[in-house]
Amino acid sequence: METITTPAGIQLAFDRHVGGDTATVILIGGAFSFRKFPKLVQLADRLADEYGLTVINYDRRGRGDSTDSPGVYDVENEIDDLAALVDAAGGSAALFGWSAGAGLALRAANSGRIPGITRVVAFEPPFIVDRENFVPPADVAPRLHDMIAAGNRGKIVPFYMTKAMGMPRAFAEIMRFTPMWQGLRSTAFATAHDWAIMGEFMRGVPLRAKDWAGVTVPTLVIAGEKSGALLRTGAKAIAGLLPDARHVELAKLSHNPNLDIITPPAGEFLTGTAEYAQWAPLHP
């Protein structure tokens, strides 16, 4: 484990998986994830071993071994965290974001405040652009903040899964009896950061191109054919607006990704090799 302290005083913990000198990529997990989440570790290893990438797998603020800013939930702060990590990586890095982490990657690239971002892979950012499937209630933020202030980790997990992510209540309650429960509880407070990233783009209204014109780096938006219509629709919508985007739906892939399916397109896009380097952007 390595650590850096950001200019704002947040300590960020990360693991550096060195596969070669091809390029550097920072992995950004979504809600309830942390750097020791098995699939993030496995993805980091595979991108390093198979594609020669140096992979930085970090704990976002409020997770794992990173510190937090209790009561302060602002996407700009997490963009600052990424800026510090890009500096620690030598001044340039690609971003691979999963779910809300994909939203953070896109918002960081859009901000213009991290010129060292070279490419973005966005795996199923949870944009909700219509009202055909699920739209979170308007009071997610105040209710979530109240539960955090009261220390109700066990209530936050099913609340966020059902009210913010649209999971069935029965599924969320079953999680209490799985080996994942302690990890979910440990990251429960950090879901307020996820909502700060995604909440304004989950209102069931179309995205606006002018809000994303700053994402000028080459971007690959990935969705899985086994994922729900909500995620597939959101991925296609954001890809259609970005100045230099490619979009693909991968067969047999879901939001809980099979690494044999997702690693090749991500690795080849990030390294600019083979088939995926030849994909034409949606808006040439």
Q: What is the pLDDT of residue 21?
A: 85
Same domain, 213 and 85: yes
- A 10 A CB-CB count for 250 gives 19
Q: What is the pLDDT of residue 277?
A: 52
Q: Tell me, yes or no, whether 162 lies in a domain.
A: yes
Mean predicted confidence (pLDDT) in 50-74: 97
Sequence letter at residue 203: R
Q: Is residue 276 predicted with pLDDT exceeding 70? A: no
Same domain, 171 and 263: no
Mean predicted confidence (pLDDT) in 70-97: 97
Q: Is residue 39 exposed (0-12), middle (13-18) or buried (19+ Cβ within 10 Å)?
A: middle
User: Alpha-carbon distance 69 to 141, whole Å?
Assistant: 16
Residues with Cβ within 8 Å of residue 38, at least 6 apart in sequence: none
Same domain, 187 and 95: no
Same domain, 156 and 111: no
Mean predicted confidence (pLDDT) in 52-75: 97
User: Alpha-carbon distance 200 to 155, whole Å?
Assistant: 23
Same domain, 65 and 13: yes
Same domain, 9 and 104: yes
Q: What is the pLDDT of residue 232?
A: 97
Closest CA to 265 of 208, 200, 220, 207: 220
Query: Quick check: pTM over 0.85?
Result: yes
> Which residue segment(s) compose the domain that 154 sits in?
140-198
First-residue to last-residue Cα distance in the chain? 41
CATH number at residue 62: 3.40.50.1820
- A 10 A CB-CB count for 178 gives 10
Q: Tell me, yes or no, whether 144 lies in a domain.
A: yes
For 207-241, how does the pLDDT look when each residue is reduced to its tens digit (9 = 90+)?
999 999 999 999 999 999 999 999 999 999 999 99
Q: What is the pLDDT of residue 22?
A: 86
Q: Tell me, yes or no, whether 284 lies in a domain.
A: no
Domains in the chain: how many in total? 2
Same domain, 116 and 160: no
Q: Tell me, yes or no, whether 283 lies in a domain.
A: no
Same domain, 44 and 183: no
Residue 14, SS3 per DSSP: strand
Same domain, 144 and 238: no
Q: Is residue 140 predicted with pLDDT exceeding 70? A: yes
